[in-house]
Structure 1
Amino acid sequence: MQKVVLLLLSGLIGLTVSGCASVTAGPDTTEAEAQAAPVKEATEEAGGTAEVNYADFEPEVLYLLLGAEIAGQRGRFDVTLANYVQAAKLSRDEGITERAMRISQSLNADNAQRQLAKLWLEIDPASLEAHRVSAIQALRGNNLETALSHMEQIMDLGGDADFDSLAAMAGNLPPEQQQEMLTLYTRLAERHPDNPEIEYGIALLLKMTGEPNQGLERLNTLLEQHPNFQPAIILKGDLLYQTGRKMSALDYLLKNTRRFPQNRQMGTLYGRMLISEGEMRAAQDEFARLVRQFPDIPGLRLSHALVALENGELALARKELTQLISEGHHTDEAHYYLGRIADDEGKPKLAIGYYEQVEAGSHYFPALARASELRADAGQLDEALASIRRMRETHPEQGESFWLLEINLLMDRDLQQRALDSASQALDQYPDSIRIRYSRAMLLDALNRPADAEQDLRTLLEQDPQNAVALNALGYILTTRTDRLGEARSLIERALSLDPENPAILDSMGWVLYRQGDLSGAIDYLEQAYAAFPDPEVAAHYGEALWVSGQQTQARIIWKEGLAANPEHPLLLETIQRLTGTDDL
């Protein structure tokens, strides 16, 4: 009966079953052949296209396979996967199980992968792929010992156990499980003392667990025995840099990138380290080498363009960015930076054209914001606002961000009341938006409505009590607008405990101490704030504290520096006039 059913199905829709238990399209099919294409592909990969052999399947299994393929063609991949898993369990056929596993991996279906890996090992205990999947799934399930057991079995079966890759996956684990993984790897090393991947894994796990120096010691021993083991060379360069031996790291990677010019990861790490150290010319040379070596890797070309842009080589940057666009890679980033180049060259229309071609990603809103600013600068503020509002209607899921664009555009043009009106409308739609409420509080303060600003900030802090920016803003408003200095200081101290190096909070702390009469403490905080961020407002505060304390020459130096940065800053000018009686320093 089974064979009759199979022959009938084959005659009706041209589907046959090969000896490896995969379904493939017959020679006379048309639409059905297209429906069976994914399975045909699987069959060809298994080498089963030369001869049709009918497997001994139950009709139920066959119907599951047919339903799976048809569901896949209709985009119902959940049905495809469910049918294949069920067919694998019913048939216990290795070909179907392997196919089901590939589908489950493409869909990131962890539960299905676990079931199929278990079944596959029951069918074939020596399957390297089944052990590999079992190891990965055990790691994701935090069953570390089981994961390593499967990897060890792969090694015993003569396969590549990928201990280094498994250790790298531990980066997503919590610290206590990383420590457990380290213990298990150390035991593995005792059983397999000559395995470089295990030693590398230990060094990598030592890095993750906060022991980079111990990791370096393991790597040095490993590299004495295996001097060409490139993953260990890369990790050693990384750990040298992490432990503060930055020049040694750069020298080490320079030497080894020339020994192994085909190692893209090594070259990329070296290039990024050069950027971190401000060695922009050397970084550009390295990324130029990598682009020549790997011309088909778009990320390298983008890095080369951005370093060239940083070095002021605009023609080179433009050339690389334009090539990325022509090849269809990193187009949003490329359009954004081409906009930046045109912007810096004083070509606003060209810049707007580039900015408006940024369609997604992290550069989308900065590009839109800058295009809107350029339109407003050209006298087209209403057109810019209309464009933002149209996009807000088109993309309601990002409405909050579009409202902030509108509010900030109006604020930047000192249209405070219009900005406040927009902020209030936005809060009607997004009453829980911390960003919009904070913006409205700053607008209310600017419009001399400190009580209303305080109310918005207190509402915000009810939602987010640990918001250092809001705590500081409220403390500063109370410092400058009221006599509630004790309350203000308490708020600023809380903000400072949350973000101790923030220059704005340091400035607020210095100013509230100044208002309380603690000149020494005020100068200490204001000096820190000014050193970190020499803003004209900080210069006004710091200079005033110095002046009142008798250090008038130093105060004049600070004020002159502030005026050089912003000659028209109102607070700075008012402070100088009030204390010296003149605008001439």
Structure 2
Amino acid sequence: MRAFFSLSQYRFQSLNQPYGFLALLATITWAGTLASTLAIAKDTPTAEKPTSPAAQQTQPWDENSQAVYDLMLAQFQNANADYQGSVDTLVKYAKEAKEPGLFATAYRATLRTERYAQAVEVAKAWQAVSQADLKKFEILALALNNQSALAVAEIEQYLEQDDTKTQADQFSQILTSLWYKPGILETVELLHKKYPDETYIQYDLVNLLRWHGHIDQAIAILDHALFKSPRDLDLIQFKSDVYRYSLRVDEAHEVWTALLKDYPNDPQFQFAYAQFLYDAYDFSAAKSVLTEIKDRTRQTTINQLLMATHIQLDEFDSAEAVIAWDNLEQDQRDQLRYQLGLMLLDKKQYAPAKTQLAHIDEDSLFALDAATAIGQAHYANNIQAGEDWFAQIAETHHLSQYEITQIKAQTLLAIERPQLALELLNAYLNENPQDQDMRYTRSLVAAENGLQKQAIEDLKLMHTRSPENADVQNALGYTMLSQPNQLDEAMQLIKKALFSQPNSPAVVDSKGWGLYLQGDYDAALPYFRYAYANYTDGEIIGHYILGLYHAGHVALAKQLYDLESQYTPNLKKLAHFAPDFEKTILKSD
């Protein structure tokens, strides 16, 4: 089950994720302009661009038209499958009303229902009534309609008309927002051939290639860029990550050893190498590199990573000694103590964790977080002691019933007491049945308890009330994947969530897992590659291992299991898949 309150652990890399321009379309309403976040489609009058004749003919809606539109939109949003007739209605009223906001909604609807030829027409009609520059939406529709060559030709012509316009990378950004769709990779490849020196087109193409398994092609592009900028740390880390998350860890390691052979005493490169070693679970080597760095200007950052390596190596006294460094500000020291406390809790070292966290004063920025973490140690030792502690926290920090219930539920999950967490949430919802946030939390906890039907019941109720909430769509869809007779409906929900949140590793993994359960193993792999590279969660790793194995990549599946099982936090979730591993992967030749 997707534990959404742990999303802060996602490790998004600035060069490793597609741009979510299309996700902004999720905020569009029927109103005359788009939501404020979609600045590129806002109709702000300018002196340079007078109102077009078509825009001047825009007419207000009458009450009957608005009523029919609202009905069709509600049908479109709530259907288990997207009704094609609803899309026709949206397009019809957009053309009749010449309303930019309605055109935006109609465009989004055509994409969601994969009517790409119609999306091209809608994008052109939308542009005719809008003062905003909407060329990128036409280009996206052309690419999705398998008209890659025409899309790139349109881009070239568009840019030649006015050399003051935004460069070509704006188009690769929106194209990559639907990275998983057919036609996108081909279009960005053609765009890269036309504009080979555009940095972000290079980055976008590298990402597309790696998700689709074309690692050598991706590396060749990065090598070309590194030939021109051999000391560009972003490029170096990008190349290392492409190798590491494609499970070519030795080649990732060679990226750093070759760099440090040329620049042996560069502290920036040394620290980046230590980070790589830590992420590859070679904690001893990471510690060795960190202790050799001679750069007091970055000592705080070095200490944070050094403390983490000590914890992973069970060197708790050494980890505490890092905090004693004299040059730390109080907030920095509190932050290190808090991080140390959490790592100790993760290792079930409850007494030393409480000692560290107790050093954080009540007026610290980390006071409430530290107190909550101490509560985890109390709960682990004695439930009643934990209850008494959290009652004290609620009073000291003036927490509402909602706030303290959420904190306690998450803490009980952290100590592997999901049944107690569920009882707590049931009691709260009995008194506050309208609290949808808490109902969402209960659905996640119910799934952790194996109560899939209760989780689905809660999530269906929430979906009825908020049909366009992508988190709810994904959580419901993913939970319904556990019910073999509901796979089709589950995949429709996940498809909608993916359209709104194509950069979410949780949603992307859900899509991959659904394809896996349908037996489409090869199609699942791009989704697993993306999710794994952006969030090394044990459940995602387990899915990826099984996907690799059943797609015929047995050696890679074993390699992934061997690599990720070195990291203790992964072991619990990997154990969930243990029977499958033992029957197939680990016993195969």
TM-score normalised according to structure 2 size: 0.46
TM-score normalised according to structure 1 size: 0.46
- Please say which structure displays the higher CA radius of gyration: 1
Highest RCO, 1 vs 2 (Cα 8 Å, sep ≥ 6): 2
